[in-house]
Every structure is written in C-alpha cells, then in structure tokens.
Structure 1
C-alpha cells in the first residue's frame, strides 16, 4: 500500500467510513461478522484495536482479519504497534501520543500508512503532519463508552485543518448515524466508528449501511 490514506469514494470531498473493531472479539465468529459488514457498503479502513491484549492474541487476530479486509480493498490498520504492523503485512498503524516514537514509526513503516491521534490540538496535528503522518485524528467529538475521553474538540477544528492542509483528517468519538452530519460538513475525510456498526440493533451490516447513508445525506464541506 502506498504511503497515502485510502482514496475517497467517487465524488469530490467525499467522507468515508473508518471502522474500528470492538474492544474484544471472538475469532471463532468475528471474521464472518466482519465479512458481512464489509460486504454491506463502502468502508475505507479497518483498524484492529485490542487494548491490553497479549501480542500472541493480536497476531492471531491479524492473521484472521487482515485477509478479510484486504481482499475487499479495505486498508487494514493496526492500533498502537508500528513494529508489529510492519512485521505482519498490515497496511499501516495508528498511534496515540503515548505510543512510542512517531518519527521512528514513520521510518519503520516505510510506504505503509501512519495515522496519529491529535486529540483537540492544532499543535499536535501540525507536528504529526511535519513528521510524515498520512492522516491525523481528532476527538472525541461525542460521549463514548469505548474509552475514557479527556479531549472534546469542536467540529471547527476539522474545518480549520481541511481548509489549510491536504493531509486527511479523521473524526472519532461517539459518532453515529444521527450525529455525524456536522462532522462531514466541517470537512472530516473519515469518520471512525465502533458502536455505531457493531452495536446496531439490526446487526453490523445494517449499522454500516446506516453510516454510509448518513454520510451521503450530510451537507458537503465548502473548501
């Protein structure tokens, strides 16, 4: 994968879905659940995010899920660990501010994608861009049960970023089909979601379709 984020869907300034795995998964069933979800509509990325899991468990999950994503032209991104991402054929890694040396990760990943969490900070985002991040992530924009959120940016930071920089931005945190429109309108290139898909009452495939429909219906950013 070239060192660029996944391309936008057809049409200018289109936002796309960035899907994150649930905090815990059952490898006996989840690969099939993932396949059904990804077959339901457009998705740019899948991030494997298993906090506090042993590395052997993460490796098994990579082996099981990476082919499901990549066979559907969905970029497979590993959370937290650039070294493991490079070793296991992932399309890239997503790192938080505390996840090691970002410059070393950039060199280690070579042509693969590097995404960096920037919370609500313009300074961190600009620094990430300077060191070669392929996308920056802002959030949490809404209350979320996935992780404890200390930062709550205003959607205006997406508008600011997208009006100045060509590096794509990802919005994250409590995003669902009913609240995502202001983020799309503000200029988010990708919406990262967990519960909106995996906890949808009609199942993950319905959740993914609902997110795609909400993105398509949202006002487009003026750039």
Structure 2
C-alpha cells in the first residue's frame, strides 16, 4: 500500500456537556472516571443561573475532576467568570456574544461559539477568532436542524476552514453521522446522562461508535487517533 504524505486524520474526540449544575458534589465525584473512560477532550459546564460567587464556587468544585484528567473546562456562557473560576474558556451563543467576550478571553483562553444560524455567521465567527464552531445545538425554543442539515454544515466547514467544528449529537446515530461528516469533536450531553446503562457505559459506547464511523469514512489509520 502506497504511503501518503498527509498524516492520518485523527478520529473525533468527545466534548461532554454536564447537566445543569446545582450541587456539584456528585458530579465532581463521577467526572474523573467518565473523562478517563472515553476520549473526552473537554467538558462544558452548564450552570444554574444564580449569583456570581456561587457559580464560581461550583466551577471551582468541578475543575480538578476535569482538568486533572487532562480535559479542558469550558463554561456555557458567562465569559466574565472564566478567569476567576480557573476555567479554560467559555462557549458563547451567537456572534455578538462571542465578539463581546473576546477581549476577556483572548489570547489565553478558549472561545467557542454556537448559535450560528447561517453560513455567513459561521464564517464571521471563524474570522473573528473562534477556537471552534458548534453546529446542531437547540435554539431557545428547543428547535434544531435535521441531522442531515447538521452533517451537511459540518462537511462544508471541514472542507473549507481551519478552526475545528463540533457536532451537537442527541443520539448515538447522530454522533456517528457527524463523525463521518468530518466533525473534529462531537458534543454529547443528555444522551449520556439519561442512558439507563449509566453515563460511563453510554460515553464509552458513543466513543467507540464515532471511532468506527470515522474509520469507515476516512480510513482505518484514523481509528487509532
């Protein structure tokens, strides 16, 4: 078999969204095992809206469990809390929110962005310095595009742009579809926490499934990534 000069394309990594955090104690106990069990690159901490001091203390309670396991900790929204809570970055929804947050996050911290309704918005986010773009998350009304539309957007982005793209998957099947479409990361949340087998088993299963889907599409070399 001829050797190709391009390195094998790595399989997508997992990006785990927490349930909305009220009491972080149980989650802090569970996370090290979860992050170690599958290839989790980052954890998105979703906070219950309350006063800043409480939200910061909740992030700080979770930080060691995430960061000591080698994953990045991002806060869903609240870029103003990132530095004080010791987080690695924030996930912003919409171009305006991302642009507002950039001065407080850059150059040291991660600024990811979702809520990008159009291709134009997606390109503008990339040009403005987004560290990743997310496609497929529900909007404020809980509506989201079809899996086919999300996969098509991921494929488009993957072929043309440098920053990583993330697919928000609500099922194992979607996770596989997005891996095959060229997602660099697959964001999973409720599909893991609601699984009757338990979050760990669900996460391991989805991790294996996206590696297989990736290998099937991009070749076996990437399956080890």
- Is TM more than 0.5 here? yes
State the alpha-carbon separation in 1 of the partners of residues 104 and 163 from structure 2: 20
Aligned residues: 208
Mapping 1:14-93, distance limit 5 Å: 14-93=11-90
Q: Helix, strand or coil for the counterpart of 1:166?
A: coil
Q: Helix, strand or coil for the counterpart of 2:40?
A: coil
Tell me by how many angstroms 1:98 deviates. Answer: 7.5
Counterpart position of 1:94: 91
State the alpha-carbon separation in 2 of the partners of residues 18 and 103 from structure 1: 23
Structure 1 unaligned regions, length at least 5: 1-9
Counterpart position of 1:6: none
For the pair 1:117 / 2:114, whether they are aligned, the reply is yes
CA distance 1:98–1:126, change in 2 (3 Å): closer
State the alpha-carbon separation in 2 of the partners of residues 99 and 55 from structure 1: 22
State the alpha-carbon separation in 2 of the partners of residues 191 and 134 from structure 1: 15
Structure 2 unaligned regions, length at least 5: 1-6, 219-225
Deviations 1:27-72 (A, max 9, x none): 2322111122112121000011124343233212111111111101
For the pair 1:195 / 2:177, whether they are aligned, the reply is no
For the pair 1:185 / 2:180, whether they are aligned, the reply is yes
Counterpart position of 2:162: 166
State the alpha-carbon separation in 1 of the partners of residues 140 and 45 from structure 2: 15
State the alpha-carbon separation in 2 of the partners of residues 213 and 20 from structure 1: 18
| Match among 123, 126, 146 for residue 123 of structure 2 | 126
Q: Helix, strand or coil for the counterpart of 1:67?
A: helix
Q: Helix, strand or coil for the counterpart of 1:149?
A: coil
CA distance 1:53–1:98, change in 2 (3 Å): farther
Q: What value does the CA root-mean-square deviation take over the aligned residues? A: 2.4
CA distance 1:30–1:72, change in 2 (3 Å): same
Given the two structures, how large is their TM-score scaled by the length of structure 2?
0.83
Cα contact 2:157–2:165 (8 A) shared by 1: yes
State the alpha-carbon separation in 1 of the partners of residues 100 and 174 from structure 2: 36
CA distance 1:21–1:138, change in 2 (3 Å): same
Q: Helix, strand or coil for the counterpart of 2:25?
A: coil
- After TM superposition, what 4+ stretches of structure 1 lie above 3 angstroms from structure 2? 219-222
Given the two structures, how large is their TM-score scaled by the length of structure 1?
0.84
Tell me by how many angstroms 1:158 deviates. Answer: 0.5
